[in-house]
Amino acid sequence: MNELVYIFCYCILFMTQVKAKVPAIYVFGDSLADVGNNDYLEFSFLKANFPHNGVDYPGGKATGRFSNGKNCADFLAERLGLPSPPPYLSIPANSNITQVFLKGVNFASGGAGVLDSTRADQCLKLTKQIDYYSTMYTDLVEKLGFIQARDHISMSIFAFIIGSNDILDYVKSSSSYQLNVTAEQLVGSMISSLEVHLKRIYNLGARKIIFVGTGPIGCCPQQRENSTSGECSARTNSISAQYDSGVASLLHEMKSEFNDMNYSFFNSSSTLMEYIESPDAHGFTDVKAACCGIGNLNALIACLPVSRLCEDRTSYVFWDLYHPTEATARLLTETMFSGSRPYVFPINVKQLGDL
């Protein structure tokens, strides 16, 4: 009888979402997409569940998002006509897991990297995020049957926003001569690991993948503050560009190998650099400093209750020493959703959802 109830609920959900074409979004990644998972990790200090984070989020309270408001994961869901999926770790143990899973889940965790070694003791590493998804997928197959579960998953969107932490940790360690690894070796290792992760997700039903490039992370306030000139770190941006190129090539190869897989790669570097180089055209006045922080460029420490807070958050590209403001995230997501080459390719998110 329970199985009949699950199938009935699925059918109702499916019929209400036929027009939308995308029944759910599943998010994997780091703090750029985390909507609160790290709040539930007692051992982690990588959290944003305190002011001034969330100052512009509905209700004005911190939610675990590393932002003054919503992030790219939220805006992606909105543009797809879906509610922003809840953090996986917030789901009560006594809840109807199948019902929750059908509507989408966010597995992203602040600090996570493509490599499992990246800040592994402070976050849900990417392997663990996919482990959690695998468990929910198995539950869905058991409750609905393989065919209905497959149909639901194949129409859903899988979004990945990850890679920045691996690069930032490498730059920090190699600058202090703690690593004997070249940037090329790092990127090669990241792409090899990512291939394993993405093929695993494919084997677990994913057919529509969004991948957000790491962008010009050498231009974040923390990297500028570490520079004697106060300008972007060309070295960090170069590594980021190598990684983005590798990801784009990997996705292209996977599309050739798996004909039923489709993807959208967002070149956030091209987009964000336009904001930085032509701020007035995009409504920004400060592209260097963090809106919330302490010290030079507000980039000495993370956004804390004692930090300085800018008055007009919409005029800043960066919220804190690493993350974009809600205003920046909204603009980036709009380009991701409806833009074209060279910003997003081979298709945009809207086109991916319509397939």
Residues identified as active-site: 31, 320, 323
Burial of 180 (0-12, 13-18, 19+ CB in 10 A): exposed
Burial class (CB in 10 A: 0-12, 13-18, 19+), 118: buried
3-state SS class at 89: helix
Start-end of H helices in 156-233:
164-175, 183-203, 221-226
Integer Rg of the chain from CA: 20
Q: Which two tokens stand for residue 46?
A: 């990588």
Q: Which of 135, 104, 99, 78 is nearest to 26 (CA)?
A: 104
Q: Contact 74/94 with Cβ under 8 angstroms? A: no
The DSSP symbol for 212 reads E
Separation CA 229–CA 99 (nearest Å): 53
Q: Which residue has the tokens 């911190």?
A: 62
Closest CA to 90 of 63, 128, 111: 63
What distance in Å separates the CA atoms of residue 85 and residue 108, rounded to the nearest whole number? 11
The DSSP call for residue 29 is: E
Supply the DSSP symbol for 284: -
Q: Helix or strand or coil: residue 70?
A: coil
Please state whether beta strands 208-212 and 157-161 pair in parallel, antiparallel, or not at all (unpaired). parallel
Listed residue (187, 171, 179, 284) closest to 234, CA to CA: 171
